[in-house]
Amino acid sequence: MKVGIVGCAGRMGQMLLKTVLATEGAELGGGSEHSLSEHLGKDLSIFSGGEPLGITITDDPRAMYEACDVAIDFTVPMATVSHVQIAAECGTALVIGTTGMDKEQLACVDAAARKTTIVRAGNMSVGVNLLLGLVEKASSILGDGYDIEIIEMHHKHKIDAPSGTALMLGEAAAHGRGVDLDTVSARGRDGQTGERRTGDIGFASLRGGDVVGEHSVIFASEGERIEITHKATSRSLFANGAVRAALWTRGQTPGHYSMKDVLGLE
């Protein structure tokens, strides 16, 4: 399958590019960047360290989508929304790793998924998606007698909080309890907040250094505390999952899928 990389000059984009080149069954079909990028017009080999690939970095995403079977997008919400529309118009599958999307932007993804295959996940890691299942199960068994707190830490350049993975973990915990996360989410405690409300799911976000991604879900009760933690030490695990999802889209009917579908966990 010919795979295109949106934002190919970024840290994640470069990792995705190298992963595509190293993956059997995947072929690099193109790479795009924003119109002010210093890398426009350069051969994609600038990031692969190999021989010239004959594919130049473009600021015309439509041309890239038309040349590819599937594209991978780990950019920012506003850019991703424009890309889902192009993917739908071109009939190109799309894998989305972008986080921080609001309800209106997610509605745009849903609309595009009626015309093409879209896989979207706040985290493409196989380990994290297994973690989601553990959190949901623990939440359903432990019940309201255990307070749930979710702590995440990422590098200082991350622009959204809580992380997409933290929100996924919160959704899993809420689903386990049979509640709506929006009604029990507690964020950004500061000052005289009063006692913790029973049933709340708390979030805390830490930022610093070059941390790839760390997430802990804490179930705290009288006399004991249960902690489930995942630590990512390399972005390669996200890239591997994204490329795996890209190859999975072949032959799939239009729809809005998750990594659970890709991994057969649903």
> Catalytic site residues?
154, 158
Quote the CA–CA distance of 196 and 217 in Å, as a whole number.
17
- The closest of 262, 228, 241 to 131, measured between CA atoms, is 228
Any residues with CB less than 8 A from the CB of 193 and at least 6 apart, and which?
none
- The closest of 42, 43, 41, 3 to 22, measured between CA atoms, is 3
Quote the CA–CA distance of 61 and 204 in Å, as a whole number.
36
Quote the CA–CA distance of 89 and 146 in Å, as a whole number.
47
How many CA atoms within 13 Å lie on the side-chain side of 188?
Answer: 2
Q: Which amino acid is at 190?
A: D
What does 81-123 look like in DSSP terms, one character per residue?
HHHHHHHHHHT-EEEE------HHHHHHHHHHTTTSEEEE-S-
